[in-house]
Amino acid sequence: MNVRIGYLYRDLMNIYGDDGNVLALIQRCRWRGIAVEVQDLALGEPIVPGRHDIFFMGGGQDREQVLVCKDLADVKGEAIKREIEDGAAALVICGGYQLFGKFYRPFDSDELPGIGVFDAYTVAGDTRFIGNVVAKSALGGKSGVIVGFENHSGKTHLGERCNPLGMVTVGHGNNGEDRTEGAVHMGAVGTYLHGSLLPKNPGVADFLIERALARRGHVPLRPLDDTIELTAQEVAIARARKTH
Amino acid sequence: MRFRTRLALAIGKIIGASSRLLNIGGGSTLPGRVARRMYPGFVPSMVSGLPLGCALVTGTNGKTTTATLLASILDRAGLTPVHNRTGANLMAGIASALIRESNLSGRLAARIGLFEVDEAALPAAVVDASPRLVLVNNLFRDQLDRYGELDTLAKKMKTAINGMDPAATVALNADDPLVASIGYGLEQKVVYYGIEAAGRYASATMQHAADSKHCAECGAPLEYEYYLFGHMGRYRCTSCGRERPRPDVFATDLEMAGMNGTRCNVHYPGGSTAVSIPLPGLYNVYNILGAMAAGLALEVDPDIITGAVEEFTAAFGRVERVETGDRKILMILAKNPAGFNEVIRTLMTEPGRKDVLLALNDNIADGRDVSWIWDVDFEMFRGRLLNVVCSGIRGWDMALRVKYSELQQQSLTIETDLEKALDFALDKVVPGGTLYMVPTYTAMLDLRRIMVKRGLVTPYWEG
């Protein structure tokens, strides 16, 4: 049994400690006796169908996002979308999340097309949403809640065919208006939450791993001792409420 | 002196004295904040009384160490600096330093101003202080939630510096591509400093916590002949040909001796000198080079500069050595991935396994977002740790980081209360051994407060 992670644009889209998500996936597999392989998917690298079980993409600066957008349009985008429809999992954060929607419209430059995995679009806003976030989420495991830190000026709006990752009780979420945070479509999870997201939200990590394995017909995961994870989550939630 | 200045000064002094009397802190920002609120022209008015003008020190890592060393250099040279010593580096901190050092009629005993300035506050500080010298040491990702992007920050700094008096000087770290780019096309005199002939300290691969991988001029990727620390090294643009400028002040023949510091030769226009730097790590070599370059630009004699470097003990909180009973404590501040990596790297050059206390806070001064700990290469600690105690407000996040890194430590304990954590950690250290503490900024202040209470160090406002 093994899990193969496709790490999209590691050198370009990795400014925010989001690497911790890949580490969390790797360890949570290994601690269950599941072997893990990580392959870097850089600019120009094509996607081989069925070759990856979980795709990951972090956030980046504007300049990097433009380069990535082009590569997704020219090289990888369609293939990734087919993989997700075929049952592959994905976790995409911030800038990566925006590019998995239909488009990103900045203030005063050309619209960046996304790959349309999520029925969602993003528009540049005039305020930055920065701060701790707590959201009720079906992927929140025992606590039913996820916690993280947002820092974005893009406002993402979800269409009818797209469910949010959660509903915020602290923080702004996707657009500061409808209390949604993130997006989920089949095995793909998009979010604005840094933290990193997965270490403190093991429910989301295990959802991704389960999806990855389910595609090849494997059994459900055995639980891990998440005492530290859940305590860290509790502390972060209390901190979010206090510093809100 | 204008009446408004005198009034703001008087009120500032009263506030400063009261906070010291009531023991609610050393008055390192409140007096200045109030004075500037009363009179926005307070700082320009006060610095106009300094016969030798002002020097500003900024950068992500090493501001306080560099500024404190430069203060010591200027002091030895008889230039009597007024310095915002306690690291209060926003405009309120600068104003508070001026209030503290002047008498009631506004006369400063100082001849030159030497201010450490937060990167985001540099533009305002340049306008208010009209400096004759600005030193930019490095630009790293720090406090992700405070600043937007590094490129934007560098542009703002460059615009501010461009607006300075043409006779002013800018001292820039040549090995940091984004910092070096500030010097391109400037009217002012630019002094570059850096490390040459790094020998075995040069690495072919870039560390995890690196930023600035593209050319500031044209946006194309940079190519490196070698890396020294983070994104510092010898670089060239793959497209427009811009490359690392030749430094005017540079270090060669480095011999690094772990926590005991570094020996090297420092070359400058007109000469060179052997230097023993008493602080650990490559990052401190840059801090010292920056201070030396600035001192030379301010026309201080090289012998005086070298003397100051060799006798330098780090600014409070940055590197603190303390003895308690038959054990030692070594506390080193870490604020961001690049800095933390250097601390770990330097600690690991010393043989043996270590007892460590990692203290993570998320107050505003530390940065509310703790995501950055996942960009620190804790894996360098693997197999080298005995007892690990994770503390601070976000001690549990730090414990998660340790757990996921699989460091194979002897024990992992989580205790968010710093005083309890300190006692617990010390207790586990064998007699004669050392506890290594690596806190973020406000956790360092709290740990310091605890150690002051026990008489192990002097209170910071006396230091």
The tokens of B7 are what?
A: 């009034």
Residue B2 pLDDT: 83
Domains and CATH numbers, chain B: 3-310 (3.40.1190.10), 319-462 (3.90.190.20)
Say which of A94, A152, A162, A172 is annotated catalytic.
A94
Q: Is A69 a catalytic residue?
A: no
Chain A residues close to B219, C-beta within 8 Å: 63
Chain A residue at shortest CA distance from B361: A239
Helices B91-101 and B30-38 cross at an angle (nearest 10°) of 100
Residue B459 pLDDT: 60
Q: What is the distance between the alpha carbons of residues B301 and B328, in angstroms, rounded to a whole number?
A: 37
Q: Is residue B386 less than 8 Å (CB to CB) from chain A?
A: no
Q: How far is A82 from chain B (nearest CA, A)?
A: 31
Residue B316 pLDDT: 57
Residue whose token pair is 């990702």? B141
Q: What pLDDT digit, counting tens, does each position of A146-179 carry?
A: 999 999 989 999 999 999 999 999 999 999 999 9
Say which of A52, A152, A172, A194 is annotated catalytic.
A194
- What are the DSSP E strand ranges found in B5-140? 54-58, 81-83, 112-116, 133-136
Whole-Å CA distances, B201 to A67, B229, B240, B252, B350: 33, 9, 28, 11, 16
**CB neighbours of residue B269 within 10 Å:** 8
Contact B396 A24 (CB under 8 A): no
Q: What is the distance between the alpha carbons of residues B242 and B348, in angstroms, rounded to a whole number?
A: 35
Q: Model-level pTM?
A: 0.81
Residue whose token pair is 């806070």? B361
Q: How far is B139 from chain A (nearest CA, A)?
A: 14
Residue B310 pLDDT: 86
Chain B residues close to A194, C-beta within 8 Å: 144, 369, 371
| DSSP conformation letters of A122-177 | EEEEEEEEEEEEEEE-TTSGGGTEEEEEEEEEEEEEE-TT-B-SEEEEES-TTTSS
Q: What pLDDT digit, counting tens, does each position of A89-117 carry?
A: 999 999 999 999 999 998 878 899 999 99
Q: How far is A224 from chain B (nearest CA, A)?
A: 13
Domains and CATH numbers, chain A: 2-243 (3.40.50.880)
Chain A: residues touching B (Cβ < 8 Å): 11, 15-20, 23-24, 27, 61-63, 128, 130-132, 149, 151, 194-196, 199-200, 228-229, 231-232, 235-236, 239, 243
Chain B residues close to A17, C-beta within 8 Å: 144, 371-375
Q: Which of A202-206, A218-222, B23-27, B337-341 has the highest mean pLDDT?
A: A202-206
Residue A104 pLDDT: 94
Q: Which of A151, A229, A235 sits opposite B369 (nearest CB)?
A: A151
Mean pLDDT of chain A: 94
Averaged over A117-144, what is the pLDDT? 94
Q: How far is B388 from chain A (nearest CA, A)?
A: 15
Residue B86 pLDDT: 65
The one-character DSSP state at B93 is H
Q: Is residue B373 less than 8 Å (CB to CB) from chain A?
A: yes
Can you give the pLDDT of all 463 residues of chain B as single tens digits?
A: 688 999 999 999 999 888 878 776 656 788 999 999 999 999 999 999 899 999 999 998 888 899 999 999 999 999 999 999 766 888 999 999 999 888 888 888 899 999 999 988 999 999 999 999 999 999 987 655 554 577 888 899 999 999 999 999 999 999 999 999 999 999 999 999 999 988 888 887 776 655 657 888 888 888 999 988 888 999 999 999 899 999 999 999 999 988 888 999 999 999 999 999 888 888 899 999 999 999 999 999 999 999 999 888 766 567 788 888 899 999 999 988 888 988 998 899 888 999 999 999 999 889 899 999 999 999 999 999 999 999 999 999 999 999 999 999 999 999 999 999 999 999 999 999 999 999 999 999 999 999 988 888 766 543 3
Q: Is A172 a catalytic residue?
A: no
Contacts of A61 (CB under 8 A, 6+ apart): A15, B149, B150, B151
Q: What is the ipTM of this complex?
A: 0.96
- Please choose, from the candidates B461, B428, B457, the residue with its C-alpha nearest in 3D space to the C-alpha of residue B319: B457
Distance of CA B358 to the CA centre of its chain: 19
